[in-house]
């Protein structure tokens, strides 16, 4: 049964009440991201039945070496293949813990020719969990020494959406670890999928479609923003092409900026999101449409401003300050607006001239004052 709009409304009311009454609640107020993601109308085509997943297909073929077994886990994606990274694979037959690498591969070494191993996989590590509500998703398959086993997922199947969600957030986590470290990461971040809406609250990320990579990473961005204490949160409804509170524009704009950094090449001449805000898709962050509300109280323009500070594509600016510089300048500041964030960036050593130029180019206003 697919979630309905009535279910989403009821769930939002319950969530809002719980947020106000729970002593354990996150500092982030409940934000209505229904315009951003499309909400429940993009629910999975087939809902999971519990936390145990079933691979869409498993193929096996012999390899020259009889003392090893090769494992490859992958998903169909936009006509190509997406490797599933960072999956922990366990078996009583393995002599070591295995984790799928950047190509989705893992190898069982020094096994006996013809020996079988039952492999268990959980979508969970010390930092992340993907769950249907309480239990982490898992799946099993069997491998044989002397063969290559390929576990395949379709693009929009239940199995495919779960693996897509996992590999997007785990890849982003790995990129953060390599760039700024994870000492800010204060808890295991739980992704509930499928949920009746896309939002972050209570330290938990709720996702409707696991294959909508930009929505997934935007909502993850809220969690990273929260744990890194980058800025203040602004609650309530918002539309990406309108203006509202400075805090809401910064928190939403930063979440999309994080999604772009995590998944889009920095030299892309027309960086854009595929699934965010269906009524305006694709959401171009390199070339913001002229009809978008001007100024730093618009999230779309906040995203573009932050993106121009780190991208390597020359669209009238060629300054590349890097994600790490922005992170270090804004971490633990709980900045209340894009204007306050700019003050922090200037104090960290980013050129005032550069900040003014990129500010005016993206917000289409020169109203930037430095203390």
pLDDT at 20 over 50: no
Please tell me the predicted confidence (pLDDT) of residue 118. Answer: 97
Q: Give the phi and the psi of residue 171 in degrees, each rounded to 5.
A: -65, -40
Q: Tell me the percentage of the chain whose pLDDT exceeds 90.
A: 77
Rounded Cα distance, 38 and 23, in Å: 30
249 or 1: which carries more pLDDT confidence?
A: 249
Q: Could you say which DSSP state residue 275 is in?
A: S
For the beta carbon of residue 346, count every other beta carbon within 10 angstroms. Answer: 17
**DSSP per-residue codes, 194-238:** S-SS-EEETTEEE-S-TT-HHHHHHHHHHHHHHHTT-B----EE-
Please tell me the predicted confidence (pLDDT) of residue 319. Answer: 62
235 or 311: which carries more pLDDT confidence?
A: 311
pLDDT at 271 over 80: yes
> Taking residues 289-297, what's their average pLDDT?
96
Please tell me the predicted confidence (pLDDT) of residue 47. Answer: 66
pLDDT band at 261 (very low <50, low <70, confident <90, very high): very high
Q: Do residues 155 and 75 make contact, with C-beta atoms less than 8 angstroms apart?
A: yes
- The first and second tokens of residue 212, run together, are 């909508």
Q: Which residue has the tokens 């693996």?
A: 163
Domain range list for the chain: 5-42+194-363, 57-124+139-155
Collapsed DSSP state (helix, strand, coil) of residue 249:
helix
pLDDT band at 46 (very low <50, low <70, confident <90, very high): low
pLDDT at 72 over 70: yes
Q: Point out the least confidently predicted range of 16-30, 45-59, 121-135, 255-269.
A: 16-30
pTM: 0.89
Please tell me the predicted confidence (pLDDT) of residue 321. Answer: 80
Please tell me the predicted confidence (pLDDT) of residue 29. Answer: 56
Peptide bond into 234 cis (omega under 30): no
Q: Which residue has the tokens 């934000």?
A: 31
Task: Give pLDDT tens digits for 335-359.
Answer: 999 999 999 999 999 999 999 999 9
Task: Give pLDDT tens digits for 85-142.
Answer: 999 999 999 988 899 999 999 999 999 999 999 999 999 999 999 999 889 999 999 9
21 or 146: which carries more pLDDT confidence?
A: 146
Rounded Cα distance, 195 and 152, in Å: 24
pLDDT band at 31 (very low <50, low <70, confident <90, very high): low
Statement: 57-124+139-155 belongs to CATH 2.60.40.1120 = yes
pLDDT at 39 over 90: no
Collapsed DSSP state (helix, strand, coil) of residue 302:
helix
Task: Give pLDDT tens digits for 194-249.
Answer: 998 999 988 999 999 999 999 999 999 999 999 999 999 977 778 999 999 999 99
Q: What is the rounded average pLDDT for all residues in the chain? A: 88
Task: Give pLDDT tens digits for 149-176.
Answer: 999 999 999 999 999 999 999 999 999 9
Please tell me the predicted confidence (pLDDT) of residue 13. Answer: 33
Peptide bond into 70 cis (omega under 30): no
For the beta carbon of residue 318, count every other beta carbon within 10 angstroms. Answer: 11
Reported residue count of the chain is: 371
> Taking residues 68-84, what's their average pLDDT?
97
> Taking residues 60-69, what's their average pLDDT?
96
Please tell me the predicted confidence (pLDDT) of residue 1. Answer: 35
Helix (H) or strand (E) holding 32: strand 31-32
pLDDT at 22 over 50: no
Please tell me the predicted confidence (pLDDT) of residue 370. Answer: 63
């Amino acid at each position: 049964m697919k979630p309905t709009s009535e279910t989403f409304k009821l769930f939002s009311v319950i969530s809002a009440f719980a947020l106000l009454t729970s002593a354990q609640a996150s500092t982030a107020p409940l934000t209505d991201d229904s315009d951003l993601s499309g909400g429940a109308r993009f629910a999975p085509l087939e809902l999971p039945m519990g936390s145990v997943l079933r691979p869409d297909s498993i193929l096996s073929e012999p390899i020259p070496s009889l003392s090893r077994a090769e494992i490859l886990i992958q998903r169909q994606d936009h006509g190509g293949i997406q490797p599933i990274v960072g999956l922990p694979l366990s078996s009583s037959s393995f002599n070591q813990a295995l984790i799928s690498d950047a190509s989705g591969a893992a190898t069982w070494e020094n096994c006996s020719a013809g020996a079988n191993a039952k492999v268990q996989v959980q979508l969970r590590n010390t930092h992340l969990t993907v769950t249907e509500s309480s239990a982490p998703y898992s799946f099993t398959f069997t491998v044989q020494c002397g063969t290559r086993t390929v576990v395949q997922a379709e693009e929009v199947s239940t199995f495919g959406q779960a693996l897509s969600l996992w590999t997007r957030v785990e890849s982003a986590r790995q990129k953060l670890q390599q760039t700024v470290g994870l000492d800010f990461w204060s808890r295991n971040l739980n992704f509930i999928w499928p949920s009746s809406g896309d939002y972050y609250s209570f330290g938990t990320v709720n996702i409707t479609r696991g294959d909508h990579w930009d929505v997934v990473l935007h909502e993850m961005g809220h969690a990273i923003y929260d744990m890194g204490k980058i800025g203040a949160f602004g609650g309530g409804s918002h539309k990406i092409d309108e203006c509202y509170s400075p805090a809401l524009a910064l928190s939403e704009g930063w979440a999309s900026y994080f999604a772009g950094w995590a998944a889009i090449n920095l030299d892309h001449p027309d960086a854009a999101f595929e699934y965010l805000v269906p009524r305006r898709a694709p959401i171009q962050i390199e070339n913001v449409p002229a009809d978008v509300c001007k100024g730093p109280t618009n999230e779309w323009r906040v995203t573009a401003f932050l993106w121009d500070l780190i991208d390597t594509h020359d669209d009238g600016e060629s300054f590349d300050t890097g994600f790490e510089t922005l992170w270090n300048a804004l971490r633990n500041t709980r900045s209340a607006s894009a204007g306050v964030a700019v003050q922090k960036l200037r104090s960290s050593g980013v050129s005032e001239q550069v900040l003014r130029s990129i500010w005016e180019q993206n917000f289409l206003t020169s109203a930037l004052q430095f203390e």
